[in-house]
Amino acid sequence: MPGYLFTYENLLKSYVSECVTGRNGEIFINHASPNIDGALGILHYSSELMEHDRLLVAGKHAYFMSKGIPYYFFLAPRKQTVYPEWLPFYSDWIPHPTWYHKEVKTFQKANVNFYPLLDLLLKHKDQERFYDVAYDTSHWNGNAVALAYDYIANILAKDNPIFKPVRYNEYYILDDTKVSYSVYRNEISKFIRLKHTEDFSCSVPPDQYLSFSGFNAYCVNHTKSGGVLWFYSDSYFGNTHGSLAVTPFVHNVKHYLHRGYGLADASKPFTKIADATLAFLKPDAVIEENVEMNRSPRLTTADPLLRLLGDYWMKTHGIFLDRHTYLTAFSLSNAEFSGNELTVQSGSRLTLKETATADDLGRVVVMGKIDPPADSALRIHYQVEGGPEQILDFGLHKAAPAFHQTVHVKPYSKVRLSLEFLTPGKYTLGRIKETEDLNEKIGQARPTRIPPKKP
């Protein structure tokens, strides 16, 4: 089928590697954003992406909840999901459940404040267009930006009235703008424009508060006495159709901080940047928007604390070690425990007495906070009932804020878990402030880890 798609589009002078021509001359971008490859099932939403997506939002939800800050996550649909009737005629020949609906199910299982935006657009799509015919089909247009702002603001306003949507025409408008894309056509598109720009001033935030070079703005509204909002987004709010990192929310609050994606890397993990930013500017709420098939913010592997918080919030089964761990849940082999200190020899083991149950993605975890005597090596032993024992080695750095390792097995498997210390010495079970604060916020000593059930 991909070969046929290429031949068909080549004959139309619209290459499938770049753009695809749909019904009624509608154009779908397929290079920087492989929308058609995803829509037709050529590009799959893998279990690895599901895992990272879920940990991404669950970890951020838990992190901000531990600080007493509400976090709201919104998922925007792409053009092919809002307008499947405009896909090329050959799309009817291929069963292709969309990424969007799979992503919705994935994020729903994170148990966070999650709001899909597809139904909102479907409700109004007969009254106004939300995507261009050809100009910029990788992004929604100003109509969608304005509608989504009003919807998001109303959701936040239920918890905090400062976020009540500002009035259209008074604080922002939609302009008809003549645009064109390559050889395809000229058209009129809707762009959003802010009014009363003299009320606020914006600059690029200092580098220590950033992890991505684009879509960043820090604005101060001189007419407001209070209110702080953080807004993480991709280019759907950050760089399209007049929405250039400064949204109508700038008229809601005194301080408005917009940042691209919330990406992270090994040197600047998300939680480290967030800690620094909180010392500078603590928000009343945090919004994050991602669009369907947005694979760029999947870098949770660079932040073991974020992954740990995600699994802690979702009550994923496995081994969790910190200063509050009840070692009575473990069998100790060749190890001594006193206070928060564990003295081990090479080959000492902690074995979880009860079996862990893998989640729907086939995951159990070994995670926590241990201060080793030096950079050390540890080994996870795991055995699915009826199968052979397997091992997974990892390093534990002395200065690490947390560690997090995932063991992948079949979904809902019963797993025997133990942790072997390959480096002898004294290990201190450490403190994870975020989990302690999270427990205080939700009013329990430790999340109850109920075995996952098959659907």
**pLDDT for residue 236 is more than 50:** yes
- Distance, in Å, from the CA atom of 381 to the CA atom of 390, rounded to the nearest integer, reads 6
Give tens-digit pLDDT for 292-304: 987 654 556 678 9
Looking at residue 92, its pLDDT comes to 81
Determine the pLDDT at residue 297: 47
Q: Are residues 287 and 338 in the same domain?
A: no
27 belongs to a structural domain: no
Looking at the fold, whether 50 and 184 belong to one and the same domain comes out as yes
- pLDDT value of position 90: 81
Mean pLDDT of all residues in 153-172 = 98
In three-state secondary structure terms, 116 is: strand
Average pLDDT over residues 362-376: 95
Q: Looking at residue 253, what is its pLDDT? A: 98
Range with the poorest average pLDDT among 146-160, 256-270, 306-320: 256-270
Residues 250 and 344 in one domain: no
Segment holding 416, helix H or strand E: strand 414-421
Q: How many structural domains are present in the chain? A: 2
Question: Quick one: 296 and 400 in the same domain?
Answer: no
The percentage of the chain sitting over the pLDDT mark of 70, rounded to a whole number, equals 88
Average pLDDT of the residues in 363-378: 95
Q: Are 234 and 214 in contact (CB under 8 A)?
A: no
pLDDT of residue 141: 96
393 in a structural domain: yes
How far apart are the C-alpha atoms of 128 and 261, rounded to whole Å?
28
Average pLDDT over residues 196-216: 83
Q: Is 15 within a domain?
A: no
Please check whether residues 287 and 322 belong to one and the same domain: no
Residue 1 banded pLDDT, cuts 50, 70, 90: very low
- When mean pLDDT is compared over 262-266, 308-312, 450-454, the highest value belongs to 308-312
Domain extent for 124: 43-300
Mark which of 237, 266, 300 sits at the end of a domain: 300
Same structural domain, 327 and 280: no
Indicate if 284 and 325 belong to the same structural domain.
Answer: no
Terminal Cα distance for the chain, rounded: 33
Residue 427: its pLDDT value, please? 94
Identify the weakest region by mean pLDDT among 90-94, 138-142, 337-341: 90-94
Whether residues 273 and 319 share a domain: the answer is: no
Assess whether pLDDT exceeds 90 at residue 265.
Answer: no
pTM of the predicted protein model:
0.91
Classify residue 339 by its DSSP letter: T
